[in-house]
Structure 1
Amino acid sequence: MKQVYSDAHEALVGLVEDGMTIAVGGFGLCGIPEQLILALRDTGKKNLTAVSNNAGVDGWGLGLLLQTRQIRKMIASYVGENAEFERQYLAGELDLEFCPQGTLAERMRAGGAGIPAFYTRSGVGTLVAKDKEHREFDGKTYIMERWIRADISLVKAWKADTAGNLVYRKTARNFNPMVAACGRVTIAEVEEVVTAGKIDPDHVHTPGIYVDGLVLTPRSEKRIEHRVTRGAA
């Protein structure tokens, strides 16, 4: 059985240290581990490198850690929804490593699979390729990208069993499986925990071998990043 913590704060006690690399699941505000991010903020640990598709928004998601100046570096593919991120970056207070979205996903997947590097055409001829090894295969140029191995991975799943197997809900799956795989320690925030054997093996998205602990948070707050409505006819 995996450890099931009473809350997100308990899950991170004694786990997070200054200067760690933290990988966080989610796409925008969809599928982010809301309570674990709040608990990470409350640890007060600083100089963190955050690996995530984006930096949240002002006042929510990883944007909370930007407000408290706990993130020293972001490795991300999109940062366009956060004014505080923009301010810190332009002021030279925050390091940024841009990474194409597919490459970011593959770097984390490679970290979980034990593949230290791979070649991709994404980024060739751009700033992304600066100082990276170039090689030619079948007449085309590729750049080498290194894996991502996080000290801690924080993910959000819909359902888990007591063996740590995870099921994500629809588009909330997004980056979470790759994030879960690349962490040396992975904590999953889930809405439901069932006994082992209750989840059909064919429905498991992240095998329990990757998961070290579970946090049951059935009432997590779900915010909408962009609300688009249509006026009455």
Structure 2
Amino acid sequence: MQKIYPDAAAALDGLLHDGMFIAAGGFGLCGIPELLLAAIKDAGTKDLTFASNNAGVDDFGIGILLQTRQVKKMISSYVGENAEFMRQYLSGELELEFNPQGTLAERMRSGGCGIPGFYTKTGVGTVIADGKDHKDFPTGQNGAMETYIMEEGIFADLSIVKAWKADETGNLVFRKTARNFNPPAAMCGKTCVVEVEEIVPTGSLDPDAIHLPGIYVHRIIQGTHEKRIEQRTVREKA
């Protein structure tokens, strides 16, 4: 199966449609699939729902799709540094489903494993729990009952992620903290498209160093990536 494509537009060809649900890897500006996001912007696909920890910043990451009003809903844990994200949410222009970070990661992972739902204590007694099934389990001290809420697994139409290296069969290696949400995001899409800094021959990766097996990966592109710093803090010159 040929998985390598020449560029982002080619890798997304035939996959995009209005109203689709996309899971995107990355955290802030670390490990975001910037080339694929730019290609989605250029394609003009609209009414998108994104499951992503956040939306990057105003002019980078998912932020570029917020600027062009191509995003209808975000499933995220953090509004953070993106002023346009915050503005659209507060003005009612953008739907937002808040998720605790661990819950969001587990929802993605569960979808990738074919698990439709799971119970967690995170969010019990808060607005996160509103409208969700509650159930008590004997998990407390001496078997005391504790309340959990049920969260649903995420099953996306498309996953877009950023990795450091891939071999020709799609086995992936992520670099340090850029690993973040990328593996679970890659798992939960019907189709997974990955952009990488380097494609290496099959068999050249140490099997013990592979973070995500190629069974989850359908299309790969290699590209040049911008190394942005989200927050730069320096001390004053002495």
Q: Which residue identity lines up with residue 188 of structure 2 in the other structure?
A: C
Taking the TM superposition and a 5 Å limit, the aligned residue runs for 1:183-198 are: 183-198=189-204
2:215 is the alignment partner of 1:209: yes
Q: Once the 2 structures are TM-superposed, how far is the Cα of residue 144 of structure 1 from its aligned partner?
A: 0.2
Query: Bigger shift: 84-93 or 124-133?
Result: 84-93
Letter in 1 for 2:31: G
What is the rounded CA distance, in whole Å, between the counterparts of 1:103 and 1:43 in structure 2? 31
CA distance in 1, matches of 2:193, 2:229: 24
**Post-superposition offset of 1:141:** 0.3
**Which residue does 1:147 correspond to in 2?**
153
State the 1:195 CA deviation. 1.2
Partner deviation per Cα, 1:130-161 (whole Å, 9 max, x = no partner): 00000000100000000001100000000000
Gaps of 5+ in 2: 139-144
Please say if residues 21 and 157 of structure 2, whose CA atoms lie closer than 8 Å, have aligned partners that are also in contact: yes
SS in 1 for 2:4: strand
* Counterpart in the other structure of 2:49: 49
Code of the aligned partner of 2:227: K
Spell out the pairing of 1:121-136 with structure 2 (5 A cutoff): 121-136=121-136
Count matched residues: 232
CA shift digits 1:76-109 (9 cap, x unpaired): 0001111111111122111000000000000000
Aligned to 2:92: 92
Distance between the aligned counterparts of 1:86 and 1:160, measured in 2?
Answer: 35
Moved more, 139-148 or 191-200: 191-200
Separation in 1, partners of 2:2, 2:43: 23
Offset at residue 9 of structure 1 (A): 1.1
* Counterpart secondary structure, 1:3: coil
Quote the Cα distance in structure 2 between the aligned partners of 1:2 and 1:226. Answer: 39
Question: Which amino acid is 1:224 matched to?
Answer: I
CA distance in 2, matches of 1:178, 1:100: 15
- State the Cα distance separating 1:224 from its structure 2 match: 0.9
With 77-86 and 95-104 compared, the bigger mean Cα shift is at 77-86
**Take 1:14 and 1:163, find their aligned partners in 2: how far apart are those partners?**
21
Q: Where in structure 2 are the equivalents of 1:112-127 lying within 5 Å?
A: 112-127=112-127
Kindly state the Cα deviation for residue 221 of structure 1 after the two structures are TM-superposed: 1.0
Shift of 1:232: 2.7
The residue aligned with 1:228 is 233
TM-score (norm 1): 0.98
Counterpart CA distance in 2 for 1:27 and 1:89 is 19
Unpaired runs of 5+ residues, structure 1, are none
| Partner Cα separation in structure 2 for residue 85 and residue 162 of structure 1 | 37
The answer to whether the 8 A contact 1:2-1:164 is kept is no
Q: Percent identity?
A: 64
Letter in 2 for 1:148: I
Question: Which amino acid letter does the alignment assign opposite residue 104 of structure 2?
Answer: L
Equivalent AA in structure 2 for residue 192 of structure 1: E
Letter matched to residue 78 of structure 2: Y
TM-score w.r.t. the length of structure 2 is 0.96
Letter in 2 for 1:200: D
State the shift of 1:230 in Å.
1.6
One-letter identity of the residue aligned with 1:227: R
Which runs of structure 1 show a deviation greater than 2 angstroms over 4 or more consecutive aligned residues?
A: none
Amino acid aligned to 2:7: D
Structure-2 residue corresponding to 1:72: 72
Instruction: For residues 55-85 of structure 1, give each alpha carbon's deviation from its aligned partner in whole angstroms, at most 9, with x where no partner exists.
Output: 1111110000000000000000001111111
RMSD after superposition: 0.8
Paired residue secondary structure (1:64): helix
Separation of aligned partners in 2, 1:135 and 1:175: 28
Measured in 2, the distance between the counterparts of 1:228 and 1:206 equals 33
Alpha-carbon contact 2:55-2:85 (below 8 Å) kept: yes
